[in-house]
Amino acid sequence: MAEKELAVCDECGSLFFKGSSQMMGLCPECAHVLYGYPNCPHRFLNGRCVSCYSMRLHHFEDMEEAGDRPYDMEEPNFFGLSIAYDPYMREVVKAEQFTTCGGDGGRSICGGLGIFLGFLPCSPHCKPEVQEDKELNGDYDFYRPIIRVEMT
């Protein structure tokens, strides 16, 4: 089987197989989001889609291929924010009651739920949970400085 040729998306900079997108300079995801073209029906093997080569995911990537490039979900979004990219990590969102959001300590991935369901705790729709232990776990909890904006 011949090797498929890779291209770099002009918009997001990710690698994709040439011919997997209906727009020459864009990956299927950017062509879908920006111009409404059909997206790739992703089928993953070793953290990459076999059809378009997209989505380099932490914990599913072939370690020899990893290199220094950040995983796709670690990259900042359109607004310059990196949000919940590791399903093992919980983000502290409220200090007074020690409330965390996202991450399940890897239970979904280690439990065999696979790529899509394994990354479900990274969803921005994940409900915040008040933790009873009230102690940070340096391996699984992180926080970042924020400025709360009061809405009137």
Distance separating alpha carbons of residues 146 and 64, to the nearest angstrom: 36
Tell me the pLDDT of the chain averaged across its residues: 75
Q: pLDDT category, 47, cuts 50, 70, 90? A: low
Residue 22 confidence (pLDDT): 87
Does 26 or 75 have the greater pLDDT score? Answer: 26
Q: pLDDT category, 77, cuts 50, 70, 90? A: low
- Going from the C-alpha of 51 to that of each of 14, 16, 60, 102, 104, the distances in angstroms are 14, 9, 16, 29, 29
Q: Which residue has 């011949």 as its token pair?
A: 2
Q: Each residue of 94-133: pLDDT tens digit?
A: 878 888 887 777 777 777 776 667 777 777 667 788 888 8
Residue 63 confidence (pLDDT): 47
Q: How many CB atoms lie within 10 A of CB 94?
A: 11
Does 102 or 34 have the greater pLDDT score? Answer: 34
Q: Are strands 15-17 and 6-8 parallel, antiparallel or unpaired?
A: antiparallel
Residue 79 confidence (pLDDT): 75
What b-and-e string marks burial along 19-58, b requiring 16 or more CB atoms within 10 Å of the CB?
ebbebeebbbbbbbeeeeeebbebebeebbbebbbbbbbb
Q: Which two tokens stand for residue 57?
A: 């995911």
Q: pLDDT category, 70, cuts 50, 70, 90? A: low
